[in-house]
Amino acid sequence: MSVTVRVPAKVNVGLAVGPARPDGFHDLANVFLAVGLHDEVTAAPAPGLELTCSGPGARQVPLDGTNLAARAARLLAGRHGLAPDVHLHIAKDIPVAGGMAGGSADAAGALVACDALWGTGTSEAELLDLCAELGSDVPFSLLGGAALGRGRGELLTPLPVGGTFHWVFAVADGGLSTPAVYREFDRLAQDRTVPPPEASAGLLAALRDGDAAALAAALANDLQPAALSLRPALADTLAAGRAAGALAALVSGSGPTCAFLTADASAATEVAGALTASGTCRTARVTTAPAPGATLLP
């Protein structure tokens, strides 16, 4: 018997980053939107904790104890006084180290899959607590949809979304380290006062109304200058998508994946074709949002 959980990637449609805190983290006003690129985490009985991974980018995924899915299994087992006996398989389709929270998605998926396999009956509130212990983006991977994250991003308020948005994601060659991007943010901010982070009212209204043009006007990512500083070629990717008719372009989270909001499905196909032809990215993926959170597959 095995169980499989599908988990979505995310794009930050509004990422306001506050000053560095004494603990090194930054207070955020982080508006997450789950998008229809997915990993699938399958949990099956095993004599100990085993981990395998397949799919594009699988070779970049660590298969040791640092893997977030393995950490999730150990955390849940420990909470219930069990041994973490499970074979976890990650079918990976979310770009690795791409600013789309793939590792966080796998952690949320592993929690839900192991909970079902072991029959531990963990409530959603307890699962959210475990998610927050595993990482700032993990609670959102569990919930999906759209949400405002405060604190490090883990204190979530779900947000209403009034329609379907059409996106293209330009996947880069190689990843960017999230901690390195935050260090670059701090370096670029050293001569200015960073204001407290706020989510824009216009952004929340655009999501609520399902208004792509308004969302395009409100997209904002405070990490984008840092990601561009570390990877200047991303400016060419953003420009290529804009020139092809995207309503707006931005770096996804800490990058290097670039996100393009389009008016409809046919514009998305056109932008993806132009991005691929431009040679400014490895591949371009078309999808929609919002996507549901971690979902047990039948």
Active site residues: 10, 137
Q: Least distance from C-beta 243 to ligand ATP, angstroms? A: 26
Give the long-range contacts of residues 193-201, CB within 8 A, separation 24 or more: 193/19, 194/17, 194/18, 194/19, 195/18, 196/18, 196/27, 197/16, 197/17, 197/18, 197/26, 197/27, 197/28, 197/29, 197/222, 198/16, 198/29, 199/14, 199/16, 199/29, 199/31, 199/148, 200/14
Q: Which of residues 193-232 bind ligand ATP (CB under 6 A)?
A: none
Q: Least distance from C-beta 291 to ligand ATP, angstroms? A: 15
The answer to the question of residue 178 lying near ligand ATP (CB under 6 A) is yes
In this structure, the strands spanning 86-91 and 26-44 are: antiparallel
Q: Least distance from C-beta 251 to ligand ATP, angstroms? A: 11
The answer to the question of residue 103 lying near ligand ATP (CB under 6 A) is yes
Q: Are 158 and 146 in contact (CB under 8 A)?
A: yes
Among 8, 14, 84, 102, binds ligand ATP (CB under 6 A): 102
The answer to the question of residue 131 lying near ligand ATP (CB under 6 A) is no
Among 27, 115, 137, 222, binds ligand ATP (CB under 6 A): 137
Q: Are 286 and 36 in contact (CB under 8 A)?
A: no
Which single residue is written with the structure tokens 């395998």?
Answer: 52
The answer to the question of residue 33 lying near ligand ATP (CB under 6 A) is no
* Residue 212 CB partners (closer than 8 Å, separation 6+): 163, 165, 166, 206, 247, 261, 262, 263
Closest to ligand ATP by CB, 92 or 274: 92
Closest CA to 175 of 101, 271, 250, 249: 101
Q: Which stretch binds ligand ATP (CB under 6 A): 76-84, 90-98, 224-232, 261-269?
A: 90-98
The answer to the question of residue 258 lying near ligand ATP (CB under 6 A) is no
Distance between start and end Cα atoms, the chain: 12
Closest CA to 25 of 158, 170, 186: 186
Q: Give me the 37-76 binding string for ligand ATP, x by CB under 6 A, dash otherwise.
A: ------------------------xx---xxxx-------
The answer to the question of residue 279 lying near ligand ATP (CB under 6 A) is no
Q: Least distance from C-beta 102 to ligand ATP, angstroms? A: 3
The answer to the question of residue 249 lying near ligand ATP (CB under 6 A) is no
Closest to ligand ATP by CB, 52 or 266: 52
Closest to ligand ATP by CB, 84 or 99: 99
Q: Are 272 and 288 in contact (CB under 8 A)?
A: no
Closest to ligand ATP by CB, 140 or 274: 140
CA distances to 7, 9, 156, 213 from 118, rounded to whole Å, are 19, 26, 27, 46
d(CA 189, CA 229): 13
The answer to the question of residue 100 lying near ligand ATP (CB under 6 A) is yes
Q: Which stretch binds ligand ATP (CB under 6 A): 17-25, 30-38, 103-111, 121-129?
A: 103-111
Q: Least distance from C-beta 254 to ligand ATP, angstroms? A: 5
The footprint of ligand ATP (CB under 6 A) covers 61-62, 66-69, 90, 96-104, 106, 137, 175, 178, 253-254
